[in-house]
Amino acid sequence: MTDYQAPLKQMKFTLEHLADFAEVSALADFASVDADTIEAVLEEAAKFASGVLAPTNVIGDRQGVRVVGDGVEVPAEFTDAYARFCEGGWPGIASNPEFGGQGLPKTLAVACDEMWAASNVAFALCPELSQGAILAMDRHGADDIKAMFLEKMVSGQWAGSMCLTEAQAGSDLSSLTSRAEPKGDRYLITGQKIFITWGDHPMAENIVHLVLARLPDAPPGTKGISLFVVPKYKVNDDGSLGPRNDNFCVSVEHKMGIHASPTCVLSFGDKGGAEGFLVGKPNEGLAAMFTMMNYMRLGVGVQGVGLSDRSYQAAVAYSRERVQGRAPGEKGRVAIIRHPDVRRMLLTMRALTQASRAICYYTASCLDRAAHGTDPESVAFHQARADLLTPIAKAWTTEASLEATSNGIQVHGGMGYVEETGAAQYYRDARIAPIYEGTNAIQAIDLVGRKLVRDGGATVSAFVSDMREVDAPLANAGDEFAVVRSALARSLDELVQCSTYILTNEKRDPELTGSAAFNYLMLLGTIIGGWQLARGALVAHQQLGAGGDKAFLETQVVMARFYAEQVLPRCTGYAAAIQSGSRSTMALAADAF
């Protein structure tokens, strides 16, 4: 049984103080969401995650999945857990009430998503993908398509998948070749998609694939891609399941991690064409698919948070039990948590986890305020901020999860490298996150190209001004906060210098964006994390004065200081690398490598 009480307290604190939850619940659409609802949802989610999902995690890792006949077999425990997940109403907690969803804020749903990922990330991918598909269909689909699919998807009776990738079209979707031929009011889809997560499984009665393909007269490149909904089983007019559609799983991949998440090669149209329906306008499918992709990008970031946290909890427990060596001022041998270097690893894991969580929850909160706000200025502001944050929530957080889960293994020493302790599984499961949903390089290029350069740095500048607002309260909070204040101010200056450097030089040096992007994303993510921990420490400082939970609140202050002293200095390195430009990166000819 996994104990969620420690992370739950931190999650609630993050929601309330770092994700501005009061502003979200003040929106008319969320009028019924009060403190009791939040408490009840999070406590029940924690029970479900620890009682039902966590016990299936190692089973899924050891057993994996396989193709049997014309379908994929998953561990029986997964099918049972999925049925209970649906019975509990978890698939639709943040979905549109028009289709049976509970309409709760995304900001609250991400906290649940974190728990699903922490307890069993391979399982969590299935409902996560379904939610992304629902959102894209709800936003871009015609009414008859919504009526045909959405209610059953929101309840979890039917699941969803996302079919973009083809062997020759990974990061570069412009080269995809799957085709869609019109046939009456439908389309016949042919082509092969690879790496499709939960592309086939027996947990849901039907699987609703969102598929990118080209119409016969489509222009080449990304402007000729359309989006189709292609179910595994055709749907009769009365909504019941019809015959099997012409799409089948050909094989599943053998992977480093997430063993129980089927990664399928799906073949469409081997028997003449899989029947599907157009979603949105012809040739504008990529834009519609971006609704799902952006949803999933935040979701992947949240997977990173969940795995970092589990890895941290396991490492702390081990470091309290494992006795090795001696320490100054202690009699006899000590538990390894006493050693400064083990503390360095544990605190780095914790600091990165807290920062990642705050970034993801805050991104969700901006999305809620953009989607449900009524004041146009506030809507535009929060949409721009969510757009800026999404690549950071995906990429910074998943890079952080690799560092955290790798440290999780290191804290266990040799026992971390053998599978018995589970530390290795967290790392193996985390390793995919920087790759799928657009690699972290693609996120970084999006951040610099579309979010920084396109508006001349305006959105980043506005965020820098907001982050500088903690300076005065930090100055007033006393000596303990001096290092947080100076480190944050220094890092923000470095960010401004780097933004200016890129904006000034990107036209002169066409390789600059690509060379600097990853370091710029790491720089900005590291600073946003530090800003969030500083905000948390200020809240804790105030609450300590009013007699709050001393140990928890003092920890918030220590974590902000640790982050300022041990993590924020990384910004100086990122800044130096960015401002060195592209020269050495591009100096070697390809055959000199």
Ligand X SMILES: Cc1cc2nc3c(=O)[nH]c(=O)nc-3n(C[C@H](O)[C@H](O)[C@H](O)COP(=O)(O)OP(=O)(O)OC[C@H]3O[C@@H](n4cnc5c(N)ncnc54)[C@H](O)[C@@H]3O)c2cc1C
Q: How many CA atoms lie within 13 A of 230 on its CB side?
A: 35
Which pairs from 142-145 meet CB under 8 Å and 24+ separation?
A: 142/279, 145/229, 145/277, 145/279
**Separation CA 463–CA 86 (nearest Å):** 39
Distance in Å, CB of 442 to ligand X, minimum: 6
Cα-based distances in Å from 198 to 122, 202, 486: 9, 10, 47
Amino acid in position 345:
M
CB 106 within 8 A of CB 368: yes
**Separation CA 379–CA 284 (nearest Å):** 24
Distance in Å, CB of 161 to ligand X, minimum: 6
Distance in Å, CB of 445 to ligand X, minimum: 6
Rank residues 53 and 164 by Cβ distance to ligand X and give the closer one: 164
**Separation CA 293–CA 303 (nearest Å):** 15
Q: Is 39 a catalytic residue?
A: no
- Give kind and range of the element (H or E) at residue 71: strand 71-73
Distance in Å, CB of 133 to ligand X, minimum: 10
Distance in Å, CB of 95 to ligand X, minimum: 20
Tokens found for residue 547: 């007699």
Rank residues 38 and 433 by Cβ distance to ligand X and give the closer one: 433
DSSP, res 218: P
What residues have CB less than 8 Å from 516, skipping those under 6 apart?
A: 448, 498, 502, 577, 578, 581, 582
Rank residues 88 and 514 by Cβ distance to ligand X and give the closer one: 514
Rank residues 280 and 438 by Cβ distance to ligand X and give the closer one: 438
Rank residues 373 and 434 by Cβ distance to ligand X and give the closer one: 434
Nearest residue to 454 (alpha-carbon basis) of 445, 467, 463: 445
**Separation CA 565–CA 557 (nearest Å):** 12
> How do beta strands 158-163 and 206-213 pair?
parallel
Rank residues 253 and 554 by Cβ distance to ligand X and give the closer one: 253
CB 535 within 8 A of CB 470: yes
Distance in Å, CB of 404 to ligand X, minimum: 20
Distance in Å, CB of 517 to ligand X, minimum: 8
CB 390 within 8 A of CB 298: yes
Classify 92 as helix, strand or coil.
coil
Rank residues 361 and 518 by Cβ distance to ligand X and give the closer one: 518
CB 308 within 8 A of CB 401: yes
Torsion of CA 8, 11, 12, 15, to 10 degrees: -160
Distance in Å, CB of 168 to ligand X, minimum: 8
Identified catalytic residue from 77, 437, 494, 511: 437
Phi, psi angles (nearest 5°) of residue 416: -75, -25
Q: Which residues bind ligand X (CB under 6 A)?
A: 162-165, 170-171, 195-197, 255, 263, 432, 435-439, 441-442, 445, 514
- Give kind and range of the element (H or E) at residue 233: strand 233-235
Rank residues 294 and 555 by Cβ distance to ligand X and give the closer one: 294
Nearest residue to 211 (alpha-carbon basis) of 248, 175, 179, 184: 179
CB 487 within 8 A of CB 478: no
Sign, Cα dihedral of 451, 454, 455, 458: positive
Distance in Å, CB of 125 to ligand X, minimum: 8
CB 21 within 8 A of CB 107: yes
Distance in Å, CB of 257 to ligand X, minimum: 8
Rank residues 165 and 580 by Cβ distance to ligand X and give the closer one: 165
- Per residue in 181-210, is it b (16+ CB within 10 Å) or e — as a string? eeeeebbbbbbbbbbbbbbbbebbebbbbb
CB 276 within 8 A of CB 183: no
Rank residues 350 and 394 by Cβ distance to ligand X and give the closer one: 394
Quote the distance between the C-alpha of residue 5 and its chain's center: 22
**Separation CA 263–CA 73 (nearest Å):** 12
Rank residues 151 and 166 by Cβ distance to ligand X and give the closer one: 166
Q: How many CA atoms lie within 13 A of 115 on its CB side?
A: 30
Give catalytic residues, as residue numbers.
437
